[in-house]
Structure 1
């Protein structure tokens, strides 16, 4: 067994050496992740294949398997790489910090829409765990009890995920929404409240997200 393991290590070293001597940069997990993110942004989850990824990297498919186990491993790498949080590390105002973490999280997923549908299906990687750790500390600093902090985190998680998926997948055009609003006006006796509020024409996605987040945080904040 030792001889076989030594042989595999020797072949791997030879392969890495050959890559280093070629015109293309040597493969790394970071480079694989960055290329996969570009492909996912362009083509979605179904557009990523190991063969296509290898071609984009200028390498052979088998070379990828020195660095990743399979396509699922690539998904994990790509997802965690886009979820990296580069915000302030020192706690300032707990509520402002929570808002920053969540607005940044939502904006990140909207830049990479595939991430919102992929995240619930994957094991949580280091970068999303950093965000959750940050949220936990912010909520604790705001006086949320240990008994309530998990419920608060999952409530915020569900809000961010739902808001992101809705925004990324909302399909009606402006013309379609205007036509739907007109239809509501014609049926105003049946739907007077949403016709009056012009719900179907409201496209202030960022403002609505922030106001909804304020509603949640008002409920989460301990009453003094």
Structure 2
């Protein structure tokens, strides 16, 4: 594809697809150009470099999050929907979780989300500074919840690129981790009873539990302040 037929929108959209498939390490201008059917040099007419492209792609995916109206839905329902949407977005794009540690993201997509997040907590009755802290606390909880899954995706890709049997290595590690856990009474109790399957699935099952517990705490602070 000649450079004059390429658009920045096409480049960013294709970069997101490549990042989803290959992760941060798999993104380079040559691979991107191949997906676009264009020379790598043509991409540079629209983006400065790889880091610039990651920032553009990283901001664009924030637009996938639906923004609930706290006035119509109620702040608690809106906060739950916003956090759930953020969690789903991070889960679809695990490379973004990794990139947050090496890039300072900014742009209209993220700003749109952040502005609505503040609106949700202000609608609850938090002052401006309190709303900042409440929104940051929920964001940090969501990010922490997806770190494990994101790291597993990155590790699996790295092992596969190195020619290792990623599935076998991870399974072997889990077996050894179980052996270590058997020396600790509470871990052993969970692994030796019917609770074992639920215990292994805990990250998936506890996101909403933790989110609601966090919102309970914020709501209690509001009530205490009113009292």
Q: Give the TM-score, by structure 2 length.
A: 0.76
Separation (CA, whole Å) in 2 of partners of 1:174 and 1:156: 33
Separation (CA, whole Å) in 1 of partners of 2:171 and 2:28: 35
Contact 1:94 1:141 survives alignment (8 Å): yes
Q: Of the two, which has the highest radius of gyration?
A: 1
Contact 1:85 1:131 survives alignment (8 Å): no
Tell me the matched-pair count.
199
- Residue 149 of structure 1 is matched in structure 2 by 131
Contact 1:144 1:220 survives alignment (8 Å): no
Q: Give the TM-score, by structure 1 length.
A: 0.77
Contact 1:85 1:130 survives alignment (8 Å): no
Which structure is higher in helix share? 2
CA offsets 1:78-111 (integer angstroms, 9 cap, x no match): 1122221452543212111111111111111111
- Residue 107 of structure 2 is matched in structure 1 by 125
Confirm whether residue 106 of structure 1 aligns to residue 104 of structure 2. no
Given candidates 18, 29, 36, the residue that maps to 1:50 is: 29
CA offsets 1:19-77 (integer angstroms, 9 cap, x no match): 56xxxxx2111110111111111111111111221222112223222211111111112
Runs of 4+ with deviation above 6 angstroms: none
Contact 1:97 1:138 survives alignment (8 Å): yes
Q: Which runs of 5+ in 1 are unaligned?
A: 1-15, 21-25
Identify if the C-alpha distance between structure 1 residues 60 and 143 changes in structure 2 by more than 3 Å, giving closer, same or farther. same
Identify if the C-alpha distance between structure 1 residues 197 and 213 changes in structure 2 by more than 3 Å, giving closer, same or farther. farther
